[in-house]
Amino acid sequence: MSGHVLDGAGLGHLLDRPGVRRVLGALSAEGEATRLVGGCIRDALLGRAGDDIDLATTLLPPAVIARAEAAGLRAIPTGIEHGTITLLAGEASFEVTTLREDVETDGRRAVVRFGRDFALDAQRRDFTINALSLTPDGTLHDTTGGVDDLRAGRVRFIGEARTRIREDALRILRFFRFHARYGAGPPDPEGLSACTSARDALDGLSRERIRAEFLKLLLAPGTAAAVAILSETGLLLRLIGGFGDLGRFARALADGSETSAIDRLAALAVWSAADAARLEARLRLSKTDLDVLAAYGRALDALHGRAMIDGTEIRRLAADHDRRGLSLARTTTRSEPMPDLSPGAERYLDDLASGRVGAPKFPLGGADLVARGVRPGPEIGRRLALARALWLDLGCPDDASAREALLAHAAG
């Protein structure tokens, strides 16, 4: 597989983006240097306008703040303990970090000191394609071979891969994410071997950091191949606490619609409703995300082993299950022998997923029964439950005569 064709005009476009020259001008000082660094340069070389623009400087944080404010920029000490100041120029924001050198690291956090050497700063970054820097005059600096790697579609650790991973075990996941986004062909052998050998180091990372990185990986263009390798190497089991269903994952990706990271996680890692709690514990998911996984799991449970689902039955399922979960469950099981849906049921699910039709809604409420003379209290709930069961049996009718018949049944 071929790599990337680099955009010769990309770096000029980067320097011309709103606020960039203004920030560089504000931080210009005799005896000091400031450069654009990292991902913004990588993306510019690929002809992409990334969201984040980062800068590295020899200026110490107090000097960054003073010079920025003198130039009319707003300075926010978002990570001043790490030497990072966020500068606001109009609607654009920029992270400016004083050059750093590692003193020691335990794989989760590093002890650093401020430095003045851009080459040393590049050496402490993770991958060669992220270690590029650009001076205000448009000169590109590449001390690690990042340009050649970017052109080749190769994601390669700087220096020894095992050393980089010992510094921060999250780089295992970042290796797969960056390969899924920028790589061409198989992963770098040394990097893959180092990541596989260091799988135990994942246990020392916070669940929150793993979640954030893993969900980004699931959205990358090459996620299917990357997740397959994670599965083959046993790394996926360490991440999600279970086996992944690569077939259902691939179907979710091929659906043609823009699936979210949580939908992709569901397709990959949820086999039944019980799996949602496991993933919540493994990845510290939000309640909203947990609800999405659980709804998908319940829909899978409802579809499991069904030999034939006709148009009436699919309406019953749509009344009892979340539309998003039911639609995704149908997508991920589409080429499996069961469930088997009739053409009418398939059309209904397509209409439901697209929003052309809404899910059936039970047409009665407690106030309807009170108006018919039923006394408020537990009896209301019992009668509504019986009426809803009948409504489901009838195929969830929504016409006025059916509603009246249900009401008479419940109030009688």
| CATH class for the region spanning 1-154 | alpha beta
Q: Comparing C-alpha atoms, which of 283, 279, 263 is closest to residue 211?
A: 283
**Could you state, in order of their start, the residue ranges of all structural domains in the chain?**
1-154, 159-236, 241-360, 366-411
- Confidence (pLDDT) at 157: 98
Read off the pLDDT of each residue in 120-132 and give the average, rounded to a whole number. Answer: 95
Q: What fold characterizes domain 159-236? A: Hydrophobic Seed Protein (1.10.110)
Instruction: Supply the mean pLDDT for the chain.
Output: 94
pLDDT-above-90 percentage for the chain: 89
- pLDDT value at position 281? 94
Neighbouring CB atoms inside 10 A of 281's CB total 11
Q: What is the pLDDT of residues 282-333, one digit of tens each?
A: 999 999 999 999 999 999 999 988 888 999 999 999 999 999 999 999 999 9
**pLDDT at 50 (0 to 100):** 82
Mean pLDDT for 67-93 is 94
Q: How many CA atoms within 13 Å lie on the side-chain side of 380?
A: 14
Predicted confidence (pLDDT) per residue in 21-51, tens digit: 999 999 999 999 999 999 999 999 999 988 8
Structure tokens at 196: 């596989």
The encoded tokens of residue 302 equal 């409802």
Q: Is there a contact between 323 and 292 (Cβ–Cβ < 8 Å)? A: no
pTM over 0.85: yes
For residue 159, the surrounding DSSP H or E stretch is none
Q: Which residue has the tokens 């198989």?
A: 186
Q: What is the pLDDT of residue 90?
A: 92
Q: Please, what sign has the CA dihedral across residues 274, 275, 276, 280? A: positive
Common-topology check for domains 1-154 and 159-236: no
Q: How many whole angstroms from its chain centre is CA 252? A: 15
pLDDT digits (tens, 9 = 90+) for 332-388: 999 898 899 999 999 999 999 889 999 999 999 999 999 999 999 999 999 999 999
Q: What is the pLDDT of residues 164-219, one digit of tens each?
A: 999 999 999 999 999 999 999 999 999 999 999 999 999 999 999 999 999 999 99
Cα–Cα distance list, 247 to 20, 124, 176, 228, 333 (Å): 45, 38, 19, 10, 9
Q: How confident is the model at residue 112 (pLDDT cuts 50, 70, 90)?
A: low
